[in-house]
Amino acid sequence: MTLYLAIDAGGTKTRCLLADETRMLARAETGTVKLMRVAEAEADVRLRTMLDEVAAGAGVLLDQVARTCFGLAGSRSESVQRWAKGAIAAAGVGGEISICGDEEIALDAAFHGGPGILLIAGTGSHCVGRASDSALHSAGGWGPVLGDEGSGYWIGLEAVRAALRAKDQENGGDAAGLLLEVGRAFGVESLGELVALGNLRVPCKAMSPPDFALLAPVVARCAETGNALARSILRRAGEELAAQVVLVHRRMTCAAPPAALIEVAYTGSVLEQIGLVREVFVAQVTEALHGAKVRDKPVDPLDGALWRARRD
């Protein structure tokens, strides 16, 4: 029996599975191991604990693994790649190790090496497409400070910014209602505390820098109750995500003849769970790219990591 290990490490959580040639044997999950979000020592502990758990669940030893595919957010960084290879080896995993972006394994989950466009919209955002000549083209994925438009982090941060601008302009109760829900989510009791938390860049005794991605569900709930400001943020998120797809498609078609049918797949909590963002995204993509087909259901990046591990 040949064993394959697949890992999907995103901005919020990390998942893995062990499989043989035909069956999935066990799964495990832990928090994010993305080094922009947690310290290396914490990432080491989380990864090792998860791998020990999946091996125990499958009833095998990690040194029996023939090949691992590790899909990791931020894999374009050489230091991240070095950490990933070292951490896998330190955990006692045997066999070959392939490190690639989390967007690449999601793309393979959708298209198994064929042409298509994949949009990730979770904590962060990133779009990647494979042209008919197999070349990869991407847009976004620059992180929460420099980009990630339309992502969960972006939605949370933009909602707070828009609410504060509206408050300055004395623009109705939608801003007040949104700020109230944001304060509750962050556990602060005054606008001053929210502003102090929002501008925090390094941990202090009382607080750690806020994770604005946690606010995306809050914004979605406010939108569902009719908050016009929240709805405007979610519409903008859908537009920003669609713009990434359109840009990648343009690059693909400039580099190689387009496929007969443009197919777009997606993954990530924003498009999976927030209907308004998905509705705007689909409408914008199909209008801009005539003949485009957006898949009805999200893809699971772990399927792509396993496909790669079995194939490489």
What is the reported pLDDT for 257? 62
* pLDDT mean for each 10 residues of the chain (312 residues): 91 89 93 82 92 94 93 77 88 91 89 91 91 86 86 94 85 83 86 81 66 93 94 96 94 69 89 95 92 89 93 75
Alpha-carbon torsion, ordered 293, 69, 121, 54, to 10 deg = 120
What is the reported pLDDT for 205? 57
- In 3D space, the residue among 263, 164, 161 whose CA is nearest the CA of residue 212 turns out to be 161
What is the reported pLDDT for 13? 87
In a domain, 310, yes or no: no
What is the reported pLDDT for 203? 64
- In 3D space, the residue among 238, 249, 248, 250 whose CA is nearest the CA of residue 282 turns out to be 238
The range of the structural domain enclosing residue 62 comes to 3-100
Residues 6+ away with beta carbon under 8 Å from 40: 83
For 267, phi then psi, to 5°, come to: -150, 160
> Which CATH number belongs to the domain containing residue 74 in this structure?
3.30.420.40
Q: Are residues 269 and 124 located together in one domain of the fold?
A: yes
Q: How many structural domains are present in the chain? A: 2
Q: What is the value of pTM for the model shown?
A: 0.82
Spatial separation of the C-alpha atoms in residues 9 and 13, rounded to whole Å: 6
What is the reported pLDDT for 253? 81
What is the reported pLDDT for 244? 96
Provide Rg for the chain, Cα atoms. 21
Last residue of a domain, one of 62, 77, 100: 100
Spatial separation of the C-alpha atoms in residues 168 and 220, rounded to whole Å: 23
Other beta carbons less than 10 A from residue 95's beta carbon:
17
Return the SS3 of 210.
coil
Q: Are residues 57 and 157 located together in one domain of the fold?
A: no
Specify whether the CB–CB gap between 30 and 91 falls below 8 A. no
In a domain, 123, yes or no: yes
Specify whether the CB–CB gap between 301 and 109 falls below 8 A. yes
Q: Are residues 127 and 204 located together in one domain of the fold?
A: yes
What is the reported pLDDT for 259? 56
Q: Interior CA angle at 224 toward 220 and 228, to 5°? A: 85
Q: Are residues 171 and 70 located together in one domain of the fold?
A: no
Last residue of a domain, one of 60, 75, 100: 100
Instruction: Convert the pLDDT of each residue in 151-179 to its tens digit.
Output: 999 999 999 999 998 888 876 678 888 98
Return the SS3 of 31.
strand
Last residue of a domain, one of 43, 76, 100: 100
Q: Are residues 154 and 226 located together in one domain of the fold?
A: yes
Instruction: Convert the pLDDT of each residue in 252-310 to its tens digit.
Output: 887 666 555 688 999 999 999 999 999 999 999 999 988 788 998 999 999 999 999 99
Specify whether the CB–CB gap between 244 and 177 falls below 8 A. no
Helix residue ranges per DSSP H, the chain? 40-58, 78-90, 102-111, 152-168, 172-186, 191-198, 216-224, 228-255, 269-273, 275-288, 301-311
Tokens standing for residue 136: 């990869």
In a domain, 10, yes or no: yes
